[in-house]
Amino acid sequence: MRIAIVGTGVSGLVAAHALHRDHEVTVYEADTRVGGHANTVDVEVGGVIHAVDTGFIVYNDPNYPGFTALLRELGVETQPTEMSFSVTNAGSGLEYRGSNLNTLFAQRRNLTRPSFFRLVTEIVRFNRAARRLVVNEPRWQASDRLPTTGGDDGTSDESIEKFLRRGRYSQSFVEQFLVPFGSAIWSADPSTFTRFPMRSYARFMDNHGLLGLPGRAQWRTITGGSRAYVEALVAPFADRIRLATAVHKVVADPSDRAASKIEVLTDLGPERFDRVIIAAHSDQALEMLADPSASERSVLGSISYQPNTATLHTDARLLPNSRLARASWNYWIDPGGRRATVTYWMNALQAITSERPILLTLNRADAIDPKLVLAEFEYQHPVFDLAAIRAQQRRREIQGARGIYFVGAYWGYGFHEDGVQSALEVARAIRDER
């Protein structure tokens, strides 16, 4: 079949990888480079060039089985990374750091402040309650991390907000731990993060070993930056990729699924395909459809995205004041702020040695010395509220219904493995069509 794939993030590329041997695949990308959120850039610091990741950075073997298998197949080199987390509360002066995400608050010897001790006690209580919610669920194997219709997600799932109220958790716990941690992981707005459904949150955290149980996954990065895997992945079908070619519209003709009836419109003119896989974000996909069905409108329209500005720079003032509190992920509580404000210490994450620290900061561009800015990027992240989780469960209703499929990390938790699993699921569906 002639198959068009729109978008070269991990989802589009994995779909192309799975289908290009058996089908005539054409891949469209609006940008001038492949990779989407896998975006490594070269920067010069102190006269040395470093390859720095500015989007996708880390993964781990147990929770990324599809991605890990892909890296193995491609022979891509990876390395362990350090995943520590700190919180700075500019208002109260509190700065704390967990040496390891999995055992964030195991360092009880540091608990000198009674308020901090109370915070840790609440974290332990919350983690225990969250674990209880999913204690009988099997661990994710692969595509089961994408919710399905009729699954046990239960559309009546309560929000984190309601769960917190029911458990009488303190404002301090919510503001100084729960929101910073969740907001950092999902680059989510702190003001709305607690709308996230509690069971989905608990499932994700439990599977990633982030509910306080020791001995879970070792996080890793791609040696040389994520572009190393992107280059290896696209090599066999690089000649099928059209860069700087945005798809304006996808026009389906429901009268005849058998013939090449789906039209893809770009500046190059219309082209016809048997199947189209849209690997852009849900809102972009909906916008691309010339005549969306009621289901496509309701499912894709319920999963929204929010913007985040990422600044790559060398301004050390964006790290916590105390050197001891500096971690690979540093969350800054913005008093009254609406957006996630995290600084990734790229030296620690990618084992980079440089004269000045290389930092990637989300949503605090105005605090950075403009002379120390290396680059700036606008990214979008999916928003996971109850409407989105319900829409995810209905994805099979729209997949392939008009010869058009939709892949993307937004079908799961918004991470690389979700993109991989969503692409593999659609590749299987296309194979099974015959």
* Chain positions contacting ligand FAD, by CB under 6 A: 6-12, 28-31, 36-38, 55-59, 246-247, 279-280, 284, 288, 310, 379, 408-409, 414-416, 419
In the complex with ligand FAD, the residue whose CB is nearer, 174 or 252, is: 252
In the complex, minimum distance from the CB of residue 101 to ligand FAD, in angstroms, rounded to a whole number:
12
DSSP string, 326-344: --SEEEEE-TT--S--EEE
In the complex, minimum distance from the CB of residue 402 to ligand FAD, in angstroms, rounded to a whole number:
18
From its phi and psi, is residue 200 left (phi > 0), alpha (psi between -120 and 50) or beta?
alpha
Dist CA 161 CA 298 (whole Å): 25
Dist CA 82 CA 99 (whole Å): 9
In the complex with ligand FAD, the residue whose CB is nearer, 107 or 306, is: 306
In the complex, minimum distance from the CB of residue 148 to ligand FAD, in angstroms, rounded to a whole number:
19
Q: What is the CA radius of gyration of the chain?
A: 22
DSSP-assigned letter for residue 308 = E
In the complex with ligand FAD, the residue whose CB is nearer, 94 or 337, is: 337
In the complex, minimum distance from the CB of residue 21 to ligand FAD, in angstroms, rounded to a whole number:
21
In the complex, minimum distance from the CB of residue 166 to ligand FAD, in angstroms, rounded to a whole number:
31
In the complex with ligand FAD, the residue whose CB is nearer, 126 or 331, is: 331
In the complex with ligand FAD, the residue whose CB is nearer, 59 or 96, is: 59
In the complex with ligand FAD, the residue whose CB is nearer, 28 or 96, is: 28
Token pair recorded at residue 84: 């520590």
Helix, strand, coil content of the chain in percent (nearest 5): 40, 20, 40
In the complex with ligand FAD, the residue whose CB is nearer, 111 or 429, is: 429
In the complex, minimum distance from the CB of residue 168 to ligand FAD, in angstroms, rounded to a whole number:
33
Q: Tell me if 226 sits within 8 A of 54, measured CB to CB.
A: no
Tallying the residues shown for the chain, one arrives at: 434
Cβ neighbors of 201 (< 8 A, separation 6 or more) are 130, 160, 182
In the complex with ligand FAD, the residue whose CB is nearer, 174 or 185, is: 185
SS3 category, 124:
helix
In the complex, minimum distance from the CB of residue 372 to ligand FAD, in angstroms, rounded to a whole number:
19
Q: Return the C-alpha torsion angle 381, 385, 390, 392, nearest 10.
A: 10
In the complex, minimum distance from the CB of residue 142 to ligand FAD, in angstroms, rounded to a whole number:
15
- Alpha-carbon distances, residue 159 vs 153, 163, 196, 208, 387 (angstroms): 12, 6, 6, 20, 11
